[in-house]
Structure 1
Amino acid sequence: MQTEDAGVKSSHPHFKFKKGNDMNDTVTKGNAAALLPIGVFLLIFLGAGIAFGDFYAMPAVVAFLIALFVAFMQNRQQKFADKIKVIAKGVGEENIITMSLIFLCAGGFSGAVTAAGGVESTVNLGLSLIPTHFAVAGLFVIGCFISVSMGTSMGTIAALAPIAVGISEKTGFELSVCIASVVCGAMFGDNLSMISDTTIAAVKTQGCDMKDKFKANFLLVLPAAVLSILIFWIMTRNVSYSLEGDLKYNLWEVFPYLIVLAGALAGINVFLVLISGIVISLIVGVAAGNIAVTEMFKVVGDGVTSMYDITVISILVACIVSLVKEAGGIQFILDLIKSRIRGKKGAELGIALLALFVDICTANNTVAIVMTGPIAREISEEYGVDPKRSASLLDMFTSVGQGMIPYGAQLLSAATLTGLTPVDILPNLYYPVLMGICGVGAIFLRKR
């Protein structure tokens, strides 16, 4: 049914209507059918994972391409050329472009600092400083620091898994507990790091500053981190060991991480921070003999390349969300959630549950944030939720899901590197559970 008001015609007769007498007050009408592309993505992605027993058998980028094709096929009243204009506007939105560029810069820094020896030196430094009776709890602490510095839970797990195996062999303590402490520490930084793709996606979709989100998020997860340390320490406090070999480290190789962390906390522009980190990493790497002068640009390029997938996925998701939103799909979700929301607490809980559900479905917390970010921002603006608060909830609850699903990359990687199964590790993943409890508690206990 076509709706007109005061002689003004909607460009999408099925999905737009005029409200009141304000000529500029055009409202998109909710349309459940417009969500079909998202449903197709979930069906293909999850279906392939279940059918093949591998949730990475279907690359997310391929599933999103198929979903984009479905989005183009919908809304036949709109010309194809007009749909191209819609997605071009969506992809060209400032936050999408900025987020993509930050992804690439963060990848460049990760490649440079890893090649410079930063990861190995940071791990060895941590092991040198930690008392033997604090071994397993220490793995969690080291994991927290490395993941905050590196911005990647996967890189943290890859770096610390062999050490977890060594500690388990020397102490006789269960390997599942040792590697669980590593995974917990990795998820701490995945949620908080200034250069984590999840943090970048959360702050850009919600429109807040990186340092503000970090401060708000840190206060929410700190109790969970402290309790996790206590649990791991109590479980293993009577165990001691000695590491063989020389734990060599170079404080200069740790320096780039500290610069990036300090610069981000100080509120310096994230591009300047990351570029400075890249330059300092290359200088340190060349001076230490870890990077040949001829390899300088290659290590940065390799890091940038590692971020191509998430950058392309972000662009594809922006295209799909633009078409879905134009057709009324986002408004349908908003109407559905709003009908069950009662005040600011309800809005925050809705954002948290939405983020958790989508992460469980996609098994990728960055993708989940990119998908739910626009919806969360609409909810937060409607109910007066602070952007740094909504960004924190998005990042927290996708990390809660990602740290606990047995088919997620983190647990699959940890299991592969240690010869265990994800189910073996699950019972000892205290931090994601505690993080979720702290998040829900913060929502209900916060004074309005």
Structure 2
Amino acid sequence: MNGKDRKANPVALIPFIVFIVSYLGIGITLIANGDPMGFYGFKSPIAVLLGIIVAFLILKGNIEDKFDVFVKGCGNENIIIMCIIYLLAGSFSAVSSAMGGVDATVNLGLSIIPPNLIAVGIFVIACFISISTGTSVGTIVAIGPIAVGFAEKTNIPIAFIIATLIGGAMFGDNLSVISDTTIAATRTQGVEMKDKFRTNLGMAIPAMLITVVLLLIFGRPEVVPVIENLEYNIIKVVPYVFVLVTAVAGVNVFVVLTLGTVLSSVIGLYYGTFGLLECSNIIYDGFLGMFEIFLLSMLIGGLAAMVQEAGGLDWLLNKIKGFVKGRKSAEVGIALITSIADAATANNTVAIIIAAPIARNISEEFQVDPRRSASLLDSFGSIMQGFIPYGAQLLMAVQFTNGECSPFDIMPFLWYQFALTIIVIASIFFPFADGYIKKNPWDFEKWQPMSETKKQAAENKA
């Protein structure tokens, strides 16, 4: 297989289709058989492995050439960097949680917020915890029982309070510098996390404020819950604040996560929460917690390289370009690809990894700022993931209601997702959220890879 001789080839997309159809089909089958978490019963790396086997069987070329392309795809610089960040994020999250950081943050928030504003409080606390920990599911697990308890003590419907919690969880999932979705979106588009974060703020903050106003108007309980004195140690909240502030300030993400893990470890050791050996095991457990997404990213990197080398992505890109006429329609294309991929896989990180190569090609062709394309990937991945009734977020949240509501009961109250959808779509046609981008224009000449013609000219000149 030779990149210079590559032609657009729809057949090369079959391995990708096998991956998505097998993952989607088995998930639906498990749900139909009574497993509410069916989409998470069949591991995505196995589905990718099926696609890889098909790629080796049907794509042209000898086995050695195909294997060489596959391995280079797995070992792509951005893939490896992304995987290392996953590991560091996992270690920080595990140690910070083990030393009591999540409990301290929840109790601190509940101690500050007035009882008559409990719906707003649940939302704001979820926003802070999710943006600090980088996990929407973890946020839901941490706050879910508390949210349901408050709903039971007031006249606030459980579906309403759960939807409020999910909205806050998805806010942080979209913005957090240690979220796997943010890591995937930034690394694949070649941008810094701080830049993507600042680009996203122009959309996420208005959506959050709209949600807060709606909750202030419609979320006040007639029966004010009694919140007992909650114990917390402010020191245990410090690592989350440290990681958030230093990452946004532009400190190297490897340094941020490493120092964050060390800080949480020192706090845990000082308070006797765990010993030194146990701390090392917790860090390793954090690594293991990222194993699936680590393996998935590497395998999809290899599969994508094979599909691209065989002309599959070129064919798909040509089809997308059929309706893309400029920057606005290019951004619409990125949004649609990401949303469809998430609906098919029920995993926004997987969706971003799938859509990212196409998004980057579209960005290069139509000069969509890569900070903007990374923001769109993460935003629409989070929007769809926080809305689909078979996603982990809604399914996990429903578990705390003891059967009192279903994902479909929750969906009408997902106000943050609705607000974010409207604002992000509006930002495509009216770029009101591009203030940071306008102040810091992107150098497309340095970002775009050289074409073969440019490479040849540069070599001749040399």
User: Within 5 A, what are the aligned runs for 1:258-269?
Assistant: 258-269=241-252
Residue 233 (structure 2) aligned to one of 250, 272, 282: 250
Alignment check: 8 A CA contact 1:90 1:319 kept: yes
- 1:382-406 Cα offsets, whole Å, 9 max, x none, are 1111111000000000111101101
Secondary structure, aligned partner of 1:289: coil
Q: Quote the Cα distance in structure 2 between the aligned partners of 1:184 and 1:236.
A: 14
Residue 332 (structure 2) aligned to one of 340, 346, 349: 349
Which residue identity does 1:205 align to in structure 2?
T
Greater mean alpha carbon deviation, residues 269-278 or residues 414-423: 414-423
Q: Quote the Cα distance in structure 2 between the aligned partners of 1:398 and 1:71.
A: 26
Alignment check: 8 A CA contact 1:356 1:397 kept: yes
Partner of 2:413: 428
Partner of 2:449: none
Which residue identity does 2:15 align to in structure 1?
P
Q: Quote the Cα distance in structure 2 between the aligned partners of 1:302 and 1:89.
A: 28
Partner of 2:362: 379
Residue 320 (structure 1) aligned to one of 268, 286, 303: 303
Which residue identity does 1:61 align to in structure 2?
P
Alignment check: 8 A CA contact 2:167 2:416 kept: yes
Residue 215 (structure 1) aligned to one of 183, 198, 208: 198
Q: Is it true that 1:394 corresponds to 2:377 in the alignment?
A: yes
Q: What TM-score do you get using the length of structure 2 for normalisation?
A: 0.90
Partner of 2:39: 55
Deviation (angstroms), 1:244 = 4.7
Partner of 1:139: 122
Partner of 1:19: none
User: Within 5 A, what are the aligned runs for 1:11-410?
Assistant: 11-12=1-2, 26=4, 28-53=6-31, 54-76=38-60, 78-410=61-393
Alignment check: 8 A CA contact 1:359 1:402 kept: yes
- 1:83-108 Cα offsets, whole Å, 9 max, x none, are 11101211221110100000000000
Deviation (angstroms), 1:27 = 6.3
Q: What TM-score do you get using the length of structure 1 for normalisation?
A: 0.92
Which residue identity does 1:66 align to in structure 2?
L
Partner of 2:35: none
Alignment check: 8 A CA contact 2:148 2:400 kept: no
Q: Quote the Cα distance in structure 2 between the aligned partners of 1:410 and 1:51.
A: 20
Deviation (angstroms), 1:56 = 2.2
Q: Is it true that 1:440 corresponds to 2:440 in the alignment?
A: no
Secondary structure, aligned partner of 2:244: helix
Alignment check: 8 A CA contact 1:105 1:275 kept: yes
Which residue identity does 1:431 align to in structure 2?
Y
Alignment check: 8 A CA contact 2:136 2:169 kept: yes
Which residue identity does 1:71 align to in structure 2?
A
Deviation (angstroms), 1:240 = 4.8
Alignment check: 8 A CA contact 2:9 2:311 kept: yes
Greater mean alpha carbon deviation, residues 416-425 or residues 166-175: 416-425
Alignment check: 8 A CA contact 2:111 2:229 kept: no
Alignment check: 8 A CA contact 2:133 2:178 kept: yes
Alignment check: 8 A CA contact 2:96 2:261 kept: yes
Q: Quote the Cα distance in structure 2 between the aligned partners of 1:207 and 1:271.
A: 16
Which residue identity does 1:402 align to in structure 2?
Q
Q: Quote the Cα distance in structure 1 between the aligned partners of 2:369 and 2:431.
A: 13
User: For residues 285 and 82 of structure 1, do their structure 2 counterparts lie closer, same or farther at Cα, with a shift above 3 Å needed?
Assistant: same
Q: Between the two proteins, what is the percent identity of the paired residues?
A: 47
Count of residue pairs brought into register by the alignment = 425
Alignment check: 8 A CA contact 1:139 1:164 kept: yes
Q: Quote the Cα distance in structure 1 between the aligned partners of 2:179 and 2:223.
A: 34
Q: Quote the Cα distance in structure 2 between the aligned partners of 1:412 and 1:238.
A: 25
Secondary structure, aligned partner of 1:418: coil
Q: Quote the Cα distance in structure 2 between the aligned partners of 1:56 and 1:144.
A: 25
Secondary structure, aligned partner of 2:40: coil
Secondary structure, aligned partner of 2:400: helix
Unmatched runs of 5 consecutive residues or more in structure 1: 1-10, 17-25
Q: Quote the Cα distance in structure 2 between the aligned partners of 1:423 and 1:371.
A: 27
Q: Quote the Cα distance in structure 1 between the aligned partners of 2:288 and 2:29.
A: 30
Alignment check: 8 A CA contact 1:35 1:329 kept: yes
Instruction: Give the RMSD, CA atoms, in angstroms.
Output: 1.4
Q: Quote the Cα distance in structure 2 between the aligned partners of 1:27 and 1:352.
A: 31
